[in-house]
A and B are shown apart, each in its own frame.
Chain A
Amino acid sequence: IAGITQAPTSQILAAGRRMTLRCTQDMRHNAMYWYRQDLGLGLRLIHYSNTAGTTGKGEVPDGYSVSRANTDDFPLTLASAVPSQTSVYFCASSDRSGGGYTFGSGTRLTVV
């Protein structure tokens, strides 16, 4: 089934630890995005990539990094997790034709 796969589904992480959230799509979409969802704040863009080899900062990029080595994968790394990074993280992709996004099922991350 075509779509986006995120892993892990959930994770409890000790503060200060490094963590990579994985995202893989099989739709050959050029653009990929990482959002965090927090109660009352909706979805906020962390980082994005318009095509393989390029990345850009979103609204809340601090403490996060991304890479886009190929079309399919777009991992999000927390170099040193802090409790304020407790959130639900969604990966999305788009063909940028105006059709909107396809979302993954999310990763629920708790930093303690």
Chain B
Amino acid sequence: AQSVTQLGSHVSVSEGALVLLRCNYSSSVPPYLFWYVQYPNQGLQLLLKYTSAATLVKGINGFEAEFKKSETSFHLTKPSAHMSDAAEYFCAVSDTGNTGKLIFGQGTTLQVKP
């Protein structure tokens, strides 16, 4: 079965600092991978996705993620954090087969300090 592990339930950075949110996955087939962001009292919004094209994926709001098959990782980065980036971030992997189901990690809360 596929699974996702997000390392660190809480990450705190200073405004302007590098953001790094870690995600490792387990999959028996080439996966589709996603990062979603959730702002307080809202639903989840798609940040970016990897679907077997370029391994470096650029998303909205200056975020990007790199698919590393050898490390089974899909870490999310942003060069310079902004206060508005404070939110919860979820990594997800597509289920095997053609079900379209996503398996989500437990989430990482990003705090941005002024």
Contacts and interface: CB of A to CB of B under 8 A. Distances in A.
Nearest to B52: A98
A33 B42 CA distance: 17
B9 interface: yes
A42 B90 contact: yes
Most chain B CB atoms below 10 A, which of A43, A45, A48: A43
Contact size range, A: 20 to 34
Contacts of A90: 43-44
Q: Name the prevailing secondary structure of the A interface residues.
A: strand
Nearest to A91: B43
A94 B105 contact: no
Contact of A104 (B34, B43, B92, B100): B43
Interface string A43-87: 111001010000010100000000000000000000000000000
A45 B1 CA distance: 14
A40 B104 CA distance: 12
Nearest to B43: A103
Nearest to A93: B100
A12 interface: no
B90 A99 contact: no
Interface of B: 9, 32, 34, 36, 41-46, 49, 51, 90, 92, 94, 98-102, 104-107
Q: Give me the 10 closest cross-chain CB pairs, A-B, nearest first.
A: A103-B43, A96-B100, A42-B106, A43-B104, A103-B44, A98-B51, A42-B104, A105-B43, A31-B100, A94-B100
Interface of A: 4, 31, 33, 35, 40-45, 48, 50, 56, 58, 90, 92, 94, 96, 98-106
